[in-house]
């Protein structure tokens, strides 16, 4: 925060100094320079001003680039490579400064809010929270699948664990891994149950573990986030059109890569096939809701391909053609299960994508604070005695 605000303030100081220097040079240059001494002083002043201005701008640039999480890679590169282009460099600087100021004010308000409510421990639930990731990701130590969300929950008193399934496997295999993980948490902590919050395919893994693998006595609640409970019909169409050799090739490459990254036995094809409509229908027939467990779900919606970047913008067009309103990967209607908490979207054109719901890009979205959404969600679990 200090580096961010320092870089922003240094840019402002540099701008003010540049304007003052230009005014001075115009005034000084308008005077009659009677001898070579005055000319040398005039040129030396310009040289010093340019050097100091460059050094101050470079300093502020490095601070902002190192500290900001909201400036896009494209703008960073443009600012770095096109700083010498008149007018464009000013526009980039003003645009970046505006983004930095918004980021600083937003993060400062979050800090102040958490300071006020620290003692209240809004998220200290009776049972710990287990965050269950979706397909094609892992719970890595240095890149959190859930972005800034876990730290925000912990700041507000929540005890957070992770599902730690493999990145890609069948629902049955992932569910077994999740069951073992939950039982491990219970053994280590002595807690009676856990609250599961699952994103995407993680919701299917959780339901299967609860209903088919005997995990029900150890689960107080299950909240699914953008989970394709009814399957993804667009996956059916892609698999129908995709040559089997290509699918086998991609699967082999994926499995080899993620074996090196920590998966015990990744299975790309099984993970994909379990997202089809028919496979999800079979899962739903087996994984019926167990009494005594709170089942609830929530879903976000994109409004256009411009709502997010790759792959959700491409996915949005594909799913919209096949199934209608979606989050870039999952059809809106497919995510409803148990008590439905509603559709999440912004008043403007932005919308909220599949990735936005796990803070994938660490982006501050106008009119939607994903960290605050999870704080509210866990707070409500606490209020219900979970």
Point out the least confidently predicted range of 123-137, 220-234, 235-249, 329-343. Answer: 235-249
Is the pTM here over 0.85, yes or no? Answer: no
Q: Which of 40, 102, 44 lies closest to 71, judged by CA?
A: 102
In this structure, the number of other CB atoms found within 10 A of the CB of residue 197 comes to: 27
208 pLDDT tier (thresholds 50, 70, 90): very high
Q: Which of 368, 350, 358 lies closest to 133, judged by CA?
A: 358
Q: What is the mean pLDDT of residues 344-354?
A: 90
| pLDDT at residue 383 greater than cutoff 70 | yes
> What is the pLDDT at residue 31?
66
* Segment (H or E) for 341: strand 339-344
Whether residue 193 is found in the same domain as residue 338: yes
Q: Checking phi first, is residue 277 left (phi over 0); if not, alpha (psi -120 to 50) or beta? A: alpha
Q: What is the mean pLDDT of residues 74-86?
A: 78
> What is the pLDDT at residue 28?
66
Q: Which of 126, 206, 185 lies closest to 158, judged by CA?
A: 126
* Segment (H or E) for 125: none
| pLDDT at residue 156 greater than cutoff 70 | yes
**Which pairs count as long-range contacts for 111-117, CB under 8 Å and 24+ apart, including other chains?**
111/1, 114/152, 114/155, 114/156, 117/156
- Number of structural domains in the chain: 2
Whether residue 133 is found in the same domain as residue 278: yes
CATH number at residue 329: 3.40.50.1820
CB contact at 8 A, 352 and 360: no
Angle (nearest 5°) at CA 14 between 11 and 19 = 130
Q: What is the mean pLDDT of residues 266-277?
A: 94
CB contact at 8 A, 69 and 58: no
Choose between 46 and 361: higher pLDDT.
361
Whether residue 108 is found in the same domain as residue 181: no
CA–CA separation, 213 and 206 (whole Å): 10
CB contact at 8 A, 348 and 324: no
Whether residue 142 is found in the same domain as residue 6: no
> Mind listing the pLDDT tens digit for each residue in 281-296?
999 999 999 999 999 9
Q: What is the mean pLDDT of residues 16-34?
A: 71
- Please name the residue that has the structure tokens 């922003």: 8
Whether residue 332 is found in the same domain as residue 191: yes
Whether residue 233 is found in the same domain as residue 260: yes
> What is the pLDDT at residue 8?
63
Q: What is the mean pLDDT of residues 203-226?
A: 97
> What is the pLDDT at residue 370?
95
> What is the pLDDT at residue 34?
66
* Signed CA dihedral, 133, 135, 137, 140: sign only: positive
Q: What is the mean pLDDT of residues 287-313?
A: 92
Q: What is the mean pLDDT of residues 184-189?
A: 95
CA–CA separation, 224 and 344 (whole Å): 13
Choose between 89 and 31: higher pLDDT.
89
CA–CA separation, 163 and 170 (whole Å): 15
In this structure, the number of other CB atoms found within 10 A of the CB of residue 112 comes to: 10
> Mind listing the pLDDT tens digit for each residue in 192-201?
999 999 999 9
Domain-terminating residue out of 113, 144, 173: 113
Mean pLDDT of the chain: 87
Domain-terminating residue out of 82, 113, 144: 113
Helix, strand and coil content of the chain, in percent to the nearest 5, comes to: 55, 10, 35
Structure-block tokens of residue 108: 């400062």
Where in the sequence is the domain holding 28, given as residue range(s)? 2-113
Whether residue 77 is found in the same domain as residue 102: yes
Whether residue 129 is found in the same domain as residue 235: yes
Residues 6+ apart with CB under 8 A from 258: 138, 166, 167, 168, 266
> What is the pLDDT at residue 127?
97
Number of H helices, E strands in the chain: 13, 6
> What is the pLDDT at residue 273?
93
Whether residue 98 is found in the same domain as residue 174: no
Q: Which of 168, 170, 166 lies closest to 181, judged by CA?
A: 166
Whether residue 183 is found in the same domain as residue 88: no
> What is the pLDDT at residue 368?
93
> What is the pLDDT at residue 282?
95
Domain-terminating residue out of 113, 146, 162: 113
Residue 272 exposed, middle or buried by CB count within 10 Å (0-12, 13-18, 19+): buried
Whether residue 203 is found in the same domain as residue 314: yes
53 pLDDT tier (thresholds 50, 70, 90): confident
Whether residue 317 is found in the same domain as residue 209: yes
């Amino acid at each position: 925060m200090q580096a961010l605000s320092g870089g922003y303030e240094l840019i402002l100081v540099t701008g003010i100094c540049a304007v003052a220097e230009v005014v001075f040079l115009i005034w000084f240059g308008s005077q009659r320079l009677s001898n070579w001494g005055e000319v040398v002083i005039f040129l030396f002043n310009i040289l010093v001003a340019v050097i100091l201005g460059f050094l101050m701008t470079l300093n502020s640039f490095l601070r902002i680039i190192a500290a900001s999480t909201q400036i896009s890679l494209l703008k960073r590169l443009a600012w770095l490579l096109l700083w010498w282009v008149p007018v464009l460099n000013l526009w980039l600087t003003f645009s970046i400064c505006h983004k930095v100021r918004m980021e600083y004010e937003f993060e400062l308000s979050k800090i102040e809010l958490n300071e006020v409510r620290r003692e209240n421990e809004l998220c200290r639930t009776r049972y710990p929270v287990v965050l269950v990731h979706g397909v094609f990701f892992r719970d890595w130590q240095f890149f959190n699948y859930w972005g800034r969300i876990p730290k925000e929950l912990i700041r507000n008193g929540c005890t957070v664990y992770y599902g730690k399934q493999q990145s890609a496997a069948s629902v049955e295999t992932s569910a077994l891994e999740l069951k073992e993980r939950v039982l491990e948490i219970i053994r280590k902590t002595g807690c009676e149950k856990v609250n599961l919050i699952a994103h995407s395919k993680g919701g299917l893994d959780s339901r299967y573990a609860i209903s088919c693998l005997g995990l029900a006595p150890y689960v107080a609640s299950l909240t699914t986030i953008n989970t394709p409970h009814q399957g993804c019909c667009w996956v059916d169409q892609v698999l129908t059109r995709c040559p089997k050799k290509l699918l086998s090739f991609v699967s082999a490459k994926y499995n080899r890569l993620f074996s090196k990254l920590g998966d015990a036995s990744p299975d790309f094809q099984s993970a994909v096939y379990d997202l089809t409509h028919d496979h999800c229908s079979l899962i739903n027939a087996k994984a019926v809701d167990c009494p005594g467990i709170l089942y609830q779900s929530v879903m976000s919606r994109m409004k256009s391909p411009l709502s997010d970047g790759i792959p959700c913008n491409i996915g949005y067009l594909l799913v919209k053609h096949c199934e209608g309103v979606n989050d870039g990967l999952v059809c809106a209607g497919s995510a409803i299960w148990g008590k439905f908490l509603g559709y999440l979207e912004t008043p403007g054109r932005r919308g909220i994508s599949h990735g936005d719901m796990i803070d994938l890009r660490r982006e501050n979205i106008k009119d939607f604070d994903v960290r605050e959404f999870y704080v509210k969600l866990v707070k409500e679990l606490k209020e219900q005695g979970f």
